[in-house]
Amino acid sequence: MKAIRIYEFGGPDVLRYEDIPEPQPGPGEILIRVIAAGVNPIDWKIRSGYMPGLPLPMIMGLDVTGIVEAVGQGETSFQPGDEIFAKVSIGQGGYAEYTVTSSTQAAKKPRSIGFVESAAIPTAGLAAWQSLFDIAGLESGQSVLIHGAAGGVGTFAVQFAKWKGAYVIGTASSKNAEFLKSIGSDEVIDYRNQRFEEIVSNLDVVLDTIGGDTFEKSWKVLKPGGFLVSTVASIPEGMPQKYGVRAKTLMTQADGRELAQIAAIIDEQKIKPIVTTVLPLADAKKAHEMSESRHTRGKIVLRVAEDPR
Ligand SMILES: NC(=O)c1ccc[n+]([C@@H]2O[C@H](COP(=O)([O-])OP(=O)(O)OC[C@H]3O[C@@H](n4cnc5c(N)ncnc54)[C@H](OP(=O)(O)O)[C@@H]3O)[C@@H](O)[C@H]2O)c1
């Protein structure tokens, strides 16, 4: 099968498009014929050596959609022919014609959208869902500031928060303002020309997907007891106590039950994945270069095979 692997950590040139043997499903696993693979910043961070010590060579990618080709011993939740989407574990590989994953990391894909759109969901959708609901406990009527609202995580977070009934404020550059309003932002702050910390205050939740200064200035815009969730920054000791708030760094869990919940909301037409770039699997290098620019809107997806329908 064709796959994108790395033999060493480094720049986009270390990505190799090559033929390798198909994997086989073990007990409790499913073998997926991949139709599309989502691209996430964690992919180029891993490629760059952000997690040294990972075994090489390694197939890149974590997010897939496709069709169950075979199931391992004892696996009963899926059957060959099921159309599914999954967040696979590091090294199992999404950028490939076939991959295996534990069935607990997969769910039936949304029926109302295609494979390419579904491949945009797993990591970014779960990150947004777990940050807002599992960690911060966002509720209807509360206010949330989403930093990086136009990105992969942000576009899901804006829509989930609006769906929940929250008041949603997003930060982005001005080119994304109208777009963010169209997907549910009540307000958009242009981070290049405005200081969010001078505009908003007393918020229930901040979701930070940017880090650095953005993270540091977010403490004081929360109300007492508010929640700061960051997908990138670790929480300095003593800071939540200093500001009288709660805080946590997200570690996204590959939760198939939550993927099923997200699929249901998509099929109710409440939210939709935002895919702005689709490239063939062989162009993974270009996909990484685009993602590394840090200014893509929504998601980049690699098409691995033609849609079978
Ligand atoms: N901890 C976890 O489990 C976990 C899970 C998922 C993601 N993450 C991390 O979360 C981060 C975001 O992921 P992602 O997939 O959303 O990334 P992404 O899609 O690459 O984000 C790109 C977006 O960031 C916006 N942006 C860049 N600088 C900004 C700033 N200073 N203020 C506001 N917006 C800014 C850009 O908007 P403009 O073009 O308008 O500037 C662009 O739309 C990544 O570092 C990723 O690795 C962590």
Ligand 1 atom closest to residue 176's alpha carbon, by position in its atom list: 40
In this predicted structure, what is the pLDDT of residue 72? 97
In this predicted structure, what is the pLDDT of residue 222? 98
In this predicted structure, what is the pLDDT of residue 10? 98
Query: What are the angstrom distances between the C-alpha of 26 and each of 63, 85, 138, 160, 166?
Result: 19, 18, 38, 35, 43
Instruction: Identify which of 51, 132, 153 to mutate to test ligand 1's pocket (most ligand atoms within 8 A of the CB).
Output: 153
In the reported structure, the alpha carbon of residue 210 is separated from the centroid of ligand 1 by a whole-number distance in angstroms of: 6
Evaluate whether 254 touches 105 at the Cβ level (below 8 Å): yes
42 lines ligand 1 (CB under 6 A): yes
In this predicted structure, what is the pLDDT of residue 308? 85
62 lines ligand 1 (CB under 6 A): no
176 lines ligand 1 (CB under 6 A): yes
Instruction: Identify which of 123, 156, 190, 295 to mutate to test ligand 1's pocket (most ligand atoms within 8 A of the CB).
Output: 295
121 lines ligand 1 (CB under 6 A): no
- The domains found in the chain, sorted by start residue, are 2-121+273-303 (3.90.180.10), 124-249 (3.40.50.720)
In this predicted structure, what is the pLDDT of residue 190? 98
123 lines ligand 1 (CB under 6 A): yes
Ligand 1 atom closest to residue 147's alpha carbon, by position in its atom list: 33
244, two tokens: 């009288």
**10-residue block means of pLDDT along the chain (309 residues)?**
98 98 96 98 98 96 98 96 98 97 98 98 99 98 98 98 98 98 98 98 98 98 98 98 98 98 97 98 98 97 93
In this predicted structure, what is the pLDDT of residue 129? 99
Alpha helices in the chain (DSSP H): 41-48, 115-119, 122-129, 152-164, 177-182, 196-199, 212-216, 239-243, 256-267, 284-292
